[in-house]
Amino acid sequence: MPAKIVIVDDEMHIRALIEQTLEELEDEGVTILTAANGQAGLQLIEREKPNLVFLDVMMPRMNGFEVCKSVKSNRKLDGTYIIMLTAKGQEFDRQKGEEVGADRYMTKPFNPDALLDKAREILGL
């Protein structure tokens, strides 16, 4: 089954930047899907069962922590790797991310090469 990545961020330019960064993975059969808010993101994740999710923290309709907690408590989504993206590097956010089961934490602005390398590593490419 081909790998899937879901990008959930309410800022269109951030979504586009991550999508462009990961674009070359599409040549390797990876499908990239996006959502503009937490609620739509959760529905997309539940429907598509992606291997990897890049998840913004601060979003309308459901923040990244709520989405992460929901995904991590859903047995059907076992194995979904979640990277929380946030503009804040505060320890509180990091701890909260760990509490809800985030696998990794990256702060914005992020290094596109590091993002791509991490995606490759997680997907085993």
Per-residue pLDDT of the chain in tens (125 residues, 90 and over written 9) = 789 999 999 999 999 999 999 999 999 999 999 999 999 999 999 999 999 999 999 998 899 999 999 999 999 999 999 999 987 666 677 788 889 999 998 888 889 999 999 999 999 99
Contacts of 118 by beta carbon, 8 Å cutoff, 6+ apart: 83, 104, 106
Number of compact structural domains in the chain:
1
Query: Which domain covers residue 38, as residue numbers?
Result: 4-123
Structure tokens at 15: 């979504």
Quote the pTM value. 0.95
DSSP letter at 30 equals -
Please report how the helices 91-99 and 64-72 are oriented relative to each other, as an axis angle in degrees rounded to 10.
30
pLDDT in tens, 67-85: 999 999 999 999 999 999 9
Domain containing residue 86: CATH number: 3.40.50.2300
